[in-house]
């Protein structure tokens, strides 16, 4: 089968699959705001999404498979944002702005995932992006000893996670630009205060 040429529209079946998956993900996000992952059934998810169970099983093995794929998508987006910034000298505001814009645009899903105890996405993002080797630590935090850097990294990342959670919980009243700016100020202040 020939691939569509660049600039041509995706076949209708591809669009339908993407739309169905998006509806299933949105429906799971809604259910996660009401109950535990372990308590959600394929039947109630399919009913909320207005698809039949067979359609669900065309795309996912079970509810956990759908949840894991949602987490993987979030992880890949964060990874791409961070890798893009690593290619150039890390500048905090553009990095934070990309992160907060992504969170803003995907708030319902991210809020649902973060409040789910089974979620591992945050710890994966934090651990996979931990600086490796002296050069990365110097780029991130300046010329400090590596053992101390581990503590600073944990402190700064925990603060950023707390800001994200609070922003989501409070309904994201501030713009991504505003949250990125004051998060950057806090991070820079903390890094400058390192002794």
Cα–Cα distance, 12 to 18 (Å, whole number): 10
The CA R_g of the chain, rounded to the nearest whole Å, is 20
What does the pLDDT look like over 13-65, one tens digit per residue? 788 999 999 999 999 999 999 999 999 999 999 999 999 999 999 999 999 99
pLDDT, residue 195, reads: 53
Position 9 confidence tier, pLDDT thresholds 50, 70, 90: very low
Q: Give the CA dihedral 62, 73, 105, 10, nearest 10 degrees.
A: -90
The answer on pLDDT for 10 being more than 50 is no
pLDDT, residue 45, reads: 97
One-letter-per-residue 3-state SS of the chain: CCCCCCCCCCCHHHHHHHHHHHHHHHHHHHHHCCCCHHHCCHHHHHHHHCCCHHHHHHHCCCHHHHHHHHHHHHHHHHHHHHHHHHHCCCCHHHHHHHHHHHHHHCHHHHHHHHCCCCCCHHHHHHHHCCCCHHHHHHHHHCCCCHHHHHHHHHHHHHHHHHHHHHHHHCCCCCCHHHHHHHHHHHHHHHHHCCC
User: What's the CATH class of domain 11-60?
Assistant: mainly alpha
What does the pLDDT look like over 103-116, one tens digit per residue? 999 999 999 999 99
pLDDT, residue 109, reads: 95
The answer on pLDDT for 189 being more than 70 is yes
What does the pLDDT look like over 117-151, one tens digit per residue? 999 998 888 888 777 776 776 666 666 666 677 78
The answer on pLDDT for 6 being more than 60 is no
Contacts for 83 with CB less than 8 Å, ≥ 6 apart: none
What does the pLDDT look like over 140-182, one tens digit per residue? 666 666 667 778 888 888 999 999 999 999 999 999 999 999 9
Distances (CA, A) of 123 to 3, 71, 158, 175: 37, 11, 11, 25
Cα–Cα distance, 80 to 64 (Å, whole number): 24
Task: Give the 3-state secondary structure of residue 67.
Answer: helix
pLDDT, residue 3, reads: 43
Prediction pTM value:
0.82
Cα–Cα distance, 31 to 23 (Å, whole number): 12
Q: Which comes out higher in pLDDT, residue 188 or 75? A: 75
What does the pLDDT look like over 75-111, one tens digit per residue? 999 999 988 877 766 678 998 999 999 999 999 999 9
């Amino acid at each position: 089968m020939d691939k569509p040429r660049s600039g041509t529209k995706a076949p209708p079946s591809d669009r339908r699959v993407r739309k169905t998956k998006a509806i299933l993900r949105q429906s799971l996000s809604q259910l996660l705001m009401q109950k535990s992952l372990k308590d959600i059934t394929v039947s109630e998810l399919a009913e909320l999404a207005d698809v039949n169970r067979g359609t669900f099983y065309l795309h996912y093995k079970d509810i956990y498979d759908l949840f894991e794929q949602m987490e993987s998508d979030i992880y890949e987006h964060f990874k791409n944002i961070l890798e893009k910034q690593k290619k150039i000298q890390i500048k905090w505001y553009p990095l934070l702005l990309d992160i907060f814009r992504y969170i803003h645009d995907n708030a319902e899903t991210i809020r649902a995932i973060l409040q789910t105890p089974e979620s591992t996405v945050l710890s994966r993002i934090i651990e996979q992006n931990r600086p490796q080797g002296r050069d990365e630590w110097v780029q991130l935090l300046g010329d400090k000893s590596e053992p101390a850097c581990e503590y600073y990294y944990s402190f700064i990342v925990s603060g950023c996670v707390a800001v994200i959670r609070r922003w989501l919980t409070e309904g994201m009243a501030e713009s991504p630009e505003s949250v990125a700016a004051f998060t950057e100020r806090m991070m820079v202040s903390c890094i400058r205060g390192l002794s």
